Amino acid sequence: MRERIRKILVTGGCGFIGSAFVRIATSKGYRVVVIDKLTYAGDLARLKGVSPKYKFYKTDICDKAKVEKIFVVEKPSIVINFAAETHVDRSILDSGIFLESNLMGSQALLDIINKYEIRKFIQISTDEVYGEIIRGRFLESSPLRPNSPYAASKAAADLLISSYMRTYGFPALIVRPCNNYGPWQYPEKLIPLSILKIIKGDKIPLYGDGKNVRQWLYVDDCARGIVELMEKGSIGEIYNLSGAEELKNIEVLKIILRILNCSDSLIQFVKDRPGHDKRYSLNSQKISKLGFKPRVSFRKGIENTVNWCLEHKTWLLSKWKDIAPLYK
């Protein structure tokens, strides 16, 4: 099986989750070709130390001519699309690039791949496409009710892919992970932003009353889940991918503050994000039935993440200039 699917084209492989996937896939013997535009969120440093089994092309997935050339030269049998603009706050300020990369970029990939033969296309979607849920958990069959421009751009791509599956028999599957955290996450997202703020000696901004609930999944578990779906997932299916652990944002911050021996008084409540979803929660029994289970508890994962951030202060601080305008 692995022999036949040995070459994987990974878009967005210099991002947070994509790079974790590249590390795990290459360590399992797969050959990986990475396409990444290297936006402010992409960083080749994330792939330092990865075995020479990966190859890199600095390319925008919206550039059909360039992507097709790579496709023809590399002849991958699997394509995994991680490439996206991913920060909800930025999508609220300007949704244009979100539609370009997340929807039109996916469309470009679909049209190129549709001309050739591959075994599987995996779209990395998000739990945010379902919108919020106050009680219970979303199933893969739940309706899409995205509330932010980011979530709408991801939901639009999911719908387009479903239409290609039905119309052309396109061999895709869609994965919807919950909130990820772990080493190398760009520090505009809640957990690394809070750690960076503590390192800088600043207050930590927390939206609204801090009671918004998210499920948390350690990034290596997410990447392992995607490898599992690459190997065993069925074409035409959608898979939720989450850890069981749900926490309010304020609880997450208090855990980080405890680990760093800091006082809760560092938390500064700020005006809520417009349209802020109260709670996301996924039912992930479908992927569990394939034998997948997250291995890293939130307690262990958050300690690893805090320690990693302390060891990579320079990297975190180097990103501050791109994040600061969001927190004026």
Ligand X SMILES: NC(=O)c1ccc[n+]([C@@H]2O[C@H](COP(=O)([O-])OP(=O)(O)OC[C@H]3O[C@@H](n4cnc5c(N)ncnc54)[C@H](O)[C@@H]3O)[C@@H](O)[C@H]2O)c1
List residues binding ligand X (CB under 6 A): 11-12, 14-18, 35-39, 41-42, 60-62, 82-86, 101, 105, 124, 126, 154, 177, 179-180, 186
Q: Residue 61 or residue 266: which is nearer to ligand X going by CB?
A: 61
In 3D space, the residue among 148, 224, 203, 139 whose CA is nearest the CA of residue 176 turns out to be 139
> Phi, psi at residue 188, to the nearest 5°?
-100, -10
Q: How far is the CB of 263 from ligand X (least distance, A)?
A: 28
Task: Name the DSSP class of 273.
Answer: P
Cβ atoms of 27 and 134 within 8 Å: the answer is: no
3-class SS letters over 284-302: CHHHHCCCCCCCCCHHHHH
Q: For the range 208-211, what are the long-range contacts, defined as Cβ-Cβ under 8 Å and sequence gap of 24 or more?
A: 208/269, 208/271, 208/272, 208/273, 208/276, 209/250, 209/269, 210/248, 210/249, 210/250, 210/253, 210/267, 210/269, 211/248, 211/249, 211/250, 211/278
Distance CA 315, CA 219 (A): 18
Q: Which residue is nearest to ligand X (CB)?
A: 15
Distance CA 70, CA 33 (A): 9
**Residue 227: strand, helix, or coil:** helix
Minimum separation from the CB atom of position 217 to ligand X (A): 8
Pull the structure tokens for residue 315: 């990297």
Structure tokens at 72: 């023809």
171 vs 243, which CB is nearer to ligand X?
243
Nearer to ligand X, 196 or 266 (CB): 196
Residues 6 or more apart whose CB falls under 8 angstroms from that of 287 comprise 225, 228, 229, 233, 239, 240, 241
- Cβ atoms 291, 228 nearer than 8 A: yes
Of residues 86 and 147, the one with the C-beta less far from ligand X: 86
Farthest-apart Cα atoms in the chain, separation: 58
* Minimum separation from the CB atom of position 146 to ligand X (A): 12
Q: How far is the CB of 1 from ligand X (least distance, A)?
A: 25
Contact between residue 152 and residue 146 where contact means Cβ atoms under 8 Å apart = yes
**Which residues are catalytic, by number?**
127-128, 150
